[in-house]
Structure 1
């Protein structure tokens, strides 16, 4: 068995990762293209569903708070599966987890298109999220295995995959929703998923032999109860008789607190927890987990709500409101490549500080269109500014976590995604619950966006505690 000329100690097969291959060999870039295709499909699905919330609400005869669950349940499933898929990828092989994820995502997408009630749709979106959530950690591990010393740049390039999906997704979604209905946004995943499955089986090499280890079901259940309890309590506030003192809120939140205590105790004392305590509060991990949580709440939660804001506040049609996500994605792409290539010179702190500042400024700007300027144009510009901020900060944040434990690339990527998606879940749940009780949902979302901007500003002092790293790994 040969090893990559890097700090990674992950064993790889001789034929799949021969270190004599040039760093830019066609095989490696073909592997990168396949895993990027999965991330691209997952990105499209998330942005399209966010745009389709009003259509889903009207067609299935439900409230906005339950329609919003089609987005939040996807985040919940991803939160649960990301760290678990990362650990399973490290143990049993990236390819196996990746292929299972592709199959599950494709089948669930087909079933989502066939349902006729909101509760079944939410359930199937949760199943779909298991596949979508497993893509990122497995893909990160695959890239880390194949790109050796350049894995920091290859992983950073993933930053450009999601915004490309953000460009195409809203456009496709707007067209499908305008000329067909919301079911089409799930149907289009099926042929793409089948193609992805075939390519993954043919192109991606095995990276590890199976290892017999016990699955930490107890830890997974505790984390699921924790997040689900928080979401159920917050969602109850969206009903007319829901209050912070009602049993519908207090009971699930109390259960969530108990689950949190038990989960932390298990992570610290368990024999083989799927998230060890050192990855939660160890050197560097603690501050990065907080930053990723706040970034997920503000940036990811904000992005999912922008089309809804445009429709509710300004009455902008679905197709045009979807282009705001496109503007945001273009902003990310314009700067992400430069941020990735200069990361070894700038380190992690500078791009995160500048990126978070620009992101907060764009969030504030989107709430205050100046008179005499086209509302769509101004919202697109402001969304583009937030994209610039994310394009600067996300590559640095991704690698700041990954360099803390490069030998556990998939597991660390899953943990990072878990905290970001957890923040997004809570932010979207609170925002949709507050909107459901508001007489002016658009104005309410303006206040929510200003709060999101404040969260990003509060993140800035934490950046100075991020372990700095410059130069090649």
Structure 2
């Protein structure tokens, strides 16, 4: 009888933990989902607001900029003021922005509402991860991995979902479709998240100079890369590099820095993983945003067909994930990552066979290779990171991991603005393919220098 009660108690705890993970997962998917859903609507928004691709790319860049700043900022806030409060605040901001964005009277308003959406959704990952770390004591790494995989998969499915919504409605549906996820996450979090303990956190505890310097540095790099479409700007490069060095020196001297550069300097393997993750996201998001606009502008596909073709990336990412998971369990992260980065090179070079009026089947098959590569790289990068940090370092490592993701996405939008800014042609697509192939080679080199599968023990 006692054994049955113990088993029932464990089962109840397991169900509660799974529902808590679901609450966090439904919230954290909002940011990656909204980063990629908009990709299929870019051509429609160009028509609606009479913009060039370079103009409309600000809708992507500012979202990533706000996310890159908001992710560590909201992470600090959740530590200071409470994880449940910050998580709920994030959901409310996403609700507000998703309600108002469809009513935007102009493109500037739409950018403003997207920034609010980015800040709100950025609150969900760090506060949600912190909640899981505090509430789930067994199989914690597995729970954190589920959230990370959930986020990556939702990013891959974004264009396909966006294509369907655009086919049956118009671009406002891309914002309105957030509400089921928001409602489910809000109800579960409200019921399952424990109330925040009383904290002595104050706004003055934030490293506000560090926040301002980090924001200015990211913004200057964004301006530099976006300006490449009109030519090389030496002064912007000098200012960006100078701001980066200043940020590094300043944060190194702080006892409670906004960006923990001391952690990065101490953990060189982790730093190189972040560098590789930046390269991975430049390649992935260049394809995720570049291909839909190319298919609609050059191949004359409607949004629904575009979404179905882009399903190749999402579908194969999901299909290979369980296989990659078992491979990692047997051999560690390095072999799957080696295969994944090699497939980035192969898939990028295969894009060179795409010509004007290419068969949708040909394009689909090429993107399948890149989808398989995405599945290998997403899970491989996450497990490689957790192999190199202790459990006590999981929080800071996860936050910086997401920041590096947004830096990569910012650079991808800058690359696309430089290549597709004035016009989109097959020649421009091939230029993007060559850039992604070079990035893939760099990723492969970084993978080959990774240590073996020796896990770091908690200290």
Superposition TM-score, scaled by structure 2 size: 0.88
Q: Could you tell me which residue of structure 2 aligns to residue 286 of structure 1?
A: 271
| CA distance 1:90–1:117, change in 2 (3 Å) | same
Structure 2: where are the runs of 5+ without partners? 1-8
Structure 1: where are the runs of 5+ without partners? 1-19
Q: Could you tell me which residue of structure 2 aligns to residue 3 of structure 1?
A: none
Q: Could you tell me which residue of structure 2 aligns to residue 445 of structure 1?
A: 429
Deviation for aligned residue 1:95:
2.5
Residue 216 (str. 1) matches residue 199 (str. 2) = no
Paired with 2:336 and 2:61, the residues of 1 have a C-alpha distance of 29
Q: Could you tell me which residue of structure 2 aligns to residue 36 of structure 1?
A: 25
Residue 199 (str. 1) matches residue 183 (str. 2) = no
TM alignment of 1:42-53, pairs within 5 A = 42-53=31-42
**Do the aligned partners of 1:102 and 1:193 also contact (CA within 8 Å) in 2?**
yes
1:106 corresponds to which of 91, 95, 120: 95
| CA distance 1:84–1:330, change in 2 (3 Å) | same
Paired with 1:209 and 1:253, the residues of 2 have a C-alpha distance of 45
Q: Could you tell me which residue of structure 2 aligns to residue 414 of structure 1?
A: 399
Residue 295 (str. 1) matches residue 280 (str. 2) = yes
2:48 corresponds to which of 59, 62, 69: 59
| CA distance 1:345–1:51, change in 2 (3 Å) | same
| CA distance 1:339–1:156, change in 2 (3 Å) | farther
| CA distance 1:252–1:26, change in 2 (3 Å) | same
For these two proteins, the number of residue pairs brought into alignment is 445
1:83-129 C-alpha deviation (Å, 9 max, x unpaired) = 23334434544323222211111211222111122222222212211
Residue 83 (str. 1) matches residue 67 (str. 2) = no
Q: Could you tell me which residue of structure 1 aligns to residue 144 of structure 2?
A: 155
| CA distance 1:468–1:180, change in 2 (3 Å) | same
Q: Could you tell me which residue of structure 2 aligns to residue 14 of structure 1?
A: none
Structure 1 range deviating more: 168-177 or 219-228: 168-177
1:228 corresponds to which of 203, 219, 242: 219
Q: For 1:113, what is the secondary structure of its paired residue? A: helix
Residue 177 (str. 1) matches residue 166 (str. 2) = yes
Paired with 1:190 and 1:169, the residues of 2 have a C-alpha distance of 15
Paired with 1:192 and 1:23, the residues of 2 have a C-alpha distance of 24
**Do the aligned partners of 2:61 and 2:414 also contact (CA within 8 Å) in 1?**
yes
Structure 1 range deviating more: 130-139 or 329-338: 130-139
Q: Could you tell me which residue of structure 1 aligns to residue 3 of structure 2?
A: none
Deviation for aligned residue 1:333:
0.8
**Do the aligned partners of 2:62 and 2:111 also contact (CA within 8 Å) in 1?**
yes
Q: For 2:170, what is the secondary structure of its paired residue? A: coil
**Do the aligned partners of 1:431 and 1:445 also contact (CA within 8 Å) in 2?**
no
**Do the aligned partners of 1:89 and 1:137 also contact (CA within 8 Å) in 2?**
yes
Paired with 1:427 and 1:167, the residues of 2 have a C-alpha distance of 15
Structure 1 range deviating more: 349-358 or 202-211: 202-211
Q: For 1:148, what is the secondary structure of its paired residue? A: coil
**Do the aligned partners of 1:157 and 1:340 also contact (CA within 8 Å) in 2?**
no
Paired with 1:24 and 1:446, the residues of 2 have a C-alpha distance of 53
Residue 427 (str. 1) matches residue 416 (str. 2) = no
Deviation for aligned residue 1:409:
2.7
Residue 460 (str. 1) matches residue 444 (str. 2) = yes
Deviation for aligned residue 1:31:
0.9
Paired with 2:75 and 2:19, the residues of 1 have a C-alpha distance of 22
Q: Could you tell me which residue of structure 2 aligns to residue 10 of structure 1?
A: none
Residue 264 (str. 1) matches residue 264 (str. 2) = no
Q: For 2:201, what is the secondary structure of its paired residue? A: coil
Q: Could you tell me which residue of structure 2 aligns to residue 316 of structure 1?
A: 301
Deviation for aligned residue 1:45:
1.8
| CA distance 1:161–1:143, change in 2 (3 Å) | same
1:303-357 C-alpha deviation (Å, 9 max, x unpaired) = 2222112223422222111223321111111111232344333212112111111
| CA distance 1:353–1:145, change in 2 (3 Å) | farther
Deviation for aligned residue 1:61:
1.7
Give the structure with the larger helix fraction: 2
Paired with 1:91 and 1:369, the residues of 2 have a C-alpha distance of 52
| CA distance 1:183–1:436, change in 2 (3 Å) | same
Deviation for aligned residue 1:37:
1.1
**Do the aligned partners of 2:223 and 2:236 also contact (CA within 8 Å) in 1?**
yes
Paired with 2:172 and 2:188, the residues of 1 have a C-alpha distance of 26
Residue 243 (str. 1) matches residue 227 (str. 2) = no
**Do the aligned partners of 2:63 and 2:118 also contact (CA within 8 Å) in 1?**
yes
Deviation for aligned residue 1:65:
1.0
Deviation for aligned residue 1:444:
0.5
TM alignment of 1:345-360, pairs within 5 A = 345-360=330-345
Superposition TM-score, scaled by structure 1 size: 0.85
Paired with 1:137 and 1:118, the residues of 2 have a C-alpha distance of 30
Paired with 1:436 and 1:161, the residues of 2 have a C-alpha distance of 32
Q: For 1:353, what is the secondary structure of its paired residue? A: helix
Paired with 1:468 and 1:82, the residues of 2 have a C-alpha distance of 30
Paired with 1:361 and 1:327, the residues of 2 have a C-alpha distance of 16
Residue 124 (str. 1) matches residue 113 (str. 2) = yes
Structure 1 range deviating more: 140-149 or 192-201: 140-149
Q: Could you tell me which residue of structure 2 aligns to residue 329 of structure 1?
A: 314
